[in-house]
Structures are given as structure tokens and as C-alpha cells.
Amino acid sequence: MCAAAVAAAAGCGDEESFDGDMVRPPSGFISTARSALGSGSTNVIYLRYADGSEQHTSDYDACSGTVPVFDCTFAPTLVECQSQIQAYLDQWFADFNVIFTLTRPTHRKYYTAVISSGGGAWCGVSDRVAGIAPFVCKDLAGGVAYAFYGGRNARETAVIVAQELAHLVGLEHTANPRDVMYPSICSDCGGFVDDDTAVVGDICDRSSQNSYKLLQRTLGAWPGGDKPSAFADAPPDETTPSGQSSSLAVAGCSVAPGRHSADPVLVLVLVLVFVLVRGRSRTGSRMP
């Protein structure tokens, strides 16, 4: 079936999903994770719309190689595309102590989502994988995740970005089609569901997951007031320039076991990948 606009855009029966969009980083990566962020500070998410100049130099990066340029097809300008995508992300992350920026932060740690187009072949993953993120069952307090199919429509792009970011924070896939963490690009979801839901493909010993509460517990609750716009020139001044991303620096693309042999330490476990929905029949067969 192809009820969703997203599915229609992707093509019935040939949709991407998140199957295999999580990859395990080196064991030493997480040791300095949350502590480097400090307690009580606002988390920062850096959204980088790929323009061909991406470099893999900071934090743990799920890919290496040349990132395909973000190609937006649903709005006339890049800023308009970004605005439409941002509207979804702002809504879905509104309750959490996190802000978005389109300008690379210069101090302390931050999460990064690189938004590209055309699939993840360049990163060595299947064309059906919608995105990828390093994943260790808990908050990485950093790391670089990718959306491979940005730009086809705003909502779909936001879903991919949101799920990959949530993987950086430690969330798994759930069986609730209204949850952003659903293992297909959800057509009915409206954010992170505040309900205990069965975990799909659990690797963290969780029988269920409340995506909303887990995000809130990890990132903290937004203290109130307006959040700064992602389109501001720079993110709010950070209090302490601690935990530079280089402290966790590990490069390499370990999306699929055996796919890269550059550093065997990196290739430990496959976890999350936003794989395209392969039609409802496939999805249904995977759900309890």
C-alpha cells in the first residue's frame, strides 16, 4: 500500500527503512560522553545540509568519504527547504533540553546530523537504508549521524533526521507506527511517543521503550521560554568549552560488518539504519 505521501514519493514497494541504521562505535568512545557535556547544560544539535565540503574530522562519524550534496526538491530555495524541515524537528524536540543550529558550534560537544540526498551507497550501505548513526544503547553526547534521503519532502527528511539523532542519544526502534522510532519512515507519526512500546530488534536488553521519556530523561526537559532559532548566525554562547569533539575523535565508516576493513575495532556491531519501508506487507511481517 502506498497511502502516505512519503511512501508515494519513495515509490510503492521500494521504500527505504531504518533496518540496519545503527552501527557500534569503538568501545572507548563512550567513556567521555555525557560527562564531557556537563550537567544541566543545553544540548546542541548541529544540522549540516551537505554541500560537498563535509569533512570527517570530529566526534565519532558513521561514515567516511564524500557526502552527496543535499538536493531539495520540494521547495524553491534551500532556506525554504530547511525551514519546512526545521518546523517538524522543532515540534518533535520542543519538550527536550536541546536546541538546533545550522552553524557549527565552536565550543563543547554537540550532536551532528548530516543531511544528504541520493542514498547511502557512498557510505557502503544499502540503498534501502534511510540513514545511519553510531549506537551504543546510551547517550553518546555527540557523534555524527546521516540522513541519506533528505530533500524529497520535508516531513520524510525530518523523520530520518529525528530518528538518527535519537539513536545518538540511545533510543532503539519501536513497534509503534506513531513513533518516530518506528523502523520504517513513519507516515503517521507525530514525534516521540510517550508510551511504553515494544522494541523492535532490541540489542539493549529492553523489552519496551518509552521514546519520549527516554529522550527527556537523557537530554533533560526544556526549562521553558522560547528556543533560539536554528537559523541564528551562531548557537548561544556555551558556558564552558569543555569536551571538544576531538577528544572522542575516531574516524571510519563501519556501517556494515566486513564492509570496511580499515579498522577492525570500529566494525563491531550493526545496529540502526533508517531503511526504507518496503511496503506495508514487509513492515507488517516484522511487527509483532
Residues that bind Zn ion (CB under 5 A): 18, 21, 163, 272, 274
Distance, in Å, from the CA atom of 193 to the CA atom of 20, rounded to the nearest integer, reads 22
Q: Which is nearer to Zn ion, 102 or 189 (CB)?
A: 189
Minimum distance of Zn ion from residue 272's CB (angstroms): 4
CB of 203 to Zn ion, least distance (A): 12
Quote the least distance from Cβ 228 to Zn ion, whole Å: 28
In the structure grid, which three cell numbers stand for residue 63, read together? 561514515
Compute the distance between CA of residue 135 and CA of residue 69 in angstroms, rounded to an integer: 24
Nearer to Zn ion, 112 or 163 (CB): 163
Please count the other Cβ atoms lying within 10 Å of the Cβ belonging to residue 190. Answer: 12
Strand-by-strand arrangement of the 173-174 sheet? 173-174, 197-200, 208-209
Is 47 or 161 the residue whose CB approaches Zn ion more closely?
A: 161
The residue nearest Zn ion at its CB is: 18
User: Cβ closer to Zn ion: 160 or 266?
Assistant: 160
Nearer to Zn ion by Cβ, of 183 and 279: the residue is 183
Task: Say if CB 49 and CB 84 are below 8 A apart.
Answer: no
CB of 288 to Zn ion, least distance (A): 18
Nearest to 89 by CA among 5, 167, 19, 156: 156
Sign of the C-alpha dihedral, residues 57, 61, 63, 66?
A: negative
- Nearest residue (CB) to Zn ion, 102 versus 169: 169
- Minimum CB separation of residue 163 from Zn ion in Å reads 5
> Which is nearer to Zn ion, 86 or 163 (by Cβ)?
163
Query: Which residue, among 203, 204, 156, 144, has the nearest Cα to 184 in the 3D structure?
Result: 156
Structural element, H or E, at residue 37: helix 33-37
CB of 95 to Zn ion, least distance (A): 21
Nearest distance in Å: CB 107, Zn ion: 29
Q: Which residue has the cell 536554528?
A: 230
Total Cβ atoms within 10 A of residue 118: 17
Contact predicate 224/29, CB 8 Å: no
Rounded Cα gap, residues 67 and 209, in angstroms: 32
